[in-house]
Amino acid sequence: MILDFHKARITDLKYNRQGDRLFVASHDDNVSQWDTSNGVLINKFIHPKRVNSISITQDSRYLVSAIPGALSLWNTISGELLETIDFGYGTYLKCVEFSHGDTHIVFSYRNVKIQSMIKVYSFNPDNQKKLTHLFTLPIIEYDLYGCVTWSPSNKYILANVGSRVDIFDVDTRELVHSIHVIGSILNGKISWTSDQSMFVIGSNCTTILYENNTWRLIRSFDIGRRISDATISSTTPPMIAFATGSTPDCGYPRRDKQGDLQFNIRLFNLDNTQQVAEIKGHDDPSYSISFSPDNKSIAIGGDDGYVIINQI
């Protein structure tokens, strides 16, 4: 199935819990909502600028989106824009995520002084003002925090920047640990296993698997291309799949598009790193990827603006 609406790079994909709805963010200033059973476009959420990241509540009634300079909250049923927080010209929001239980929102933010930080807001759908600023985590200079995510039970916030992952304690609001990946730029999103005992993050050409709480490195996957995103199934054993970019080639020979399709999606066994399947991808780089909740299909968002949903 191909979802054809967007005219620019797909930046984020989010299934609802039931898997019958898929939310798609794009650099064409739109977020779309789809019925995954038939590929019908249900709703669209029009933004003034390109959309970098989205997150939805567990009941999929609310959607939050991050664009350069602003954070927006939407009602997904009516399509109504409920609230916008404008941070002003020259600011940049990269990644946003609802907490477990949907009581808070975290996002990465850079101000006009090129200082990067992480902001946390409370979320209460019953209030007239639904988003309220709570605190800002320590500022870093020049580098931009990329992906931000909540740990299980919302005890920690994890954020990647440069070649490291910073881990903050939510209660004390202090940096408690940093994972350094020497020689790599951590440009991918942070993805968790279904039991949230482990998480992965993509770098130049490698995805690295870590254990929660101990932050211990477990294993890595070298697939020879820049990794933009990863997704982990809830099957036993779990499978992992990657969205891959075009550069760098990491010393691997470039595949020919007309031959064996360099951007095919390869699925690996998370336990032993063995490849278990390969499915059709885009003819261009992909930047977002997600297993459906029932693990029967996988959605891939490409640089071409299309979303491909393939059966596994």
Strands 2-4 and 306-311 turn out to be antiparallel
pLDDT digits (tens, 9 = 90+) for 143-154: 777 889 999 889
CATH architecture designation of domain 1-11+187-312: 7 Propeller (2.130)
Q: Do domains 1-11+187-312 and 52-180 have the same CATH topology?
A: yes
Residue showing tokens 């279904």: 194
- How many whole angstroms separate alpha carbon 235 and alpha carbon 19? 15
**Token reading at 52:** 């970098």
Where does the pLDDT of residue 32 fall: very low under 50, low under 70, confident under 90, or very high at 90 and above? very high
pLDDT digits (tens, 9 = 90+) for 261-277: 567 788 899 988 888 88
Quick check: 8 pLDDT over 80? yes
Question: In percent, how much of the chain has pLDDT > 70?
Answer: 91
Average pLDDT over residues 206-223: 86
Quick check: 285 pLDDT over 50? yes
Write down the CATH number for the domain with range 52-180: 2.130.10.10
Residue showing tokens 């200033």: 29
Where are the domains positioned within the chain? 1-11+187-312, 52-180
Quick check: 187 pLDDT over 70? no
Q: What is the pLDDT of residue 180?
A: 85
Longest dimension (CA), the chain: 56
**Token reading at 38:** 């038939």
Mind giving me the DSSP string for 94-123? EEEEEPTTSSEEEEEEE-TTSEEEEEEEEE
Coil, helix or strand for 296? Answer: coil
- How many whole angstroms separate alpha carbon 30 and alpha carbon 44? 7
Q: What is the pLDDT of residue 133?
A: 97
Main-chain dihedrals φ then ψ at residue 132, nearest 5 degrees = -135, 130
**Token reading at 104:** 């808070």
**Which of the 8 DSSP states describes residue 213?**
T
Question: In percent, how much of the chain has pLDDT > 90?
Answer: 56
Which pTM value belongs to this model? Answer: 0.91
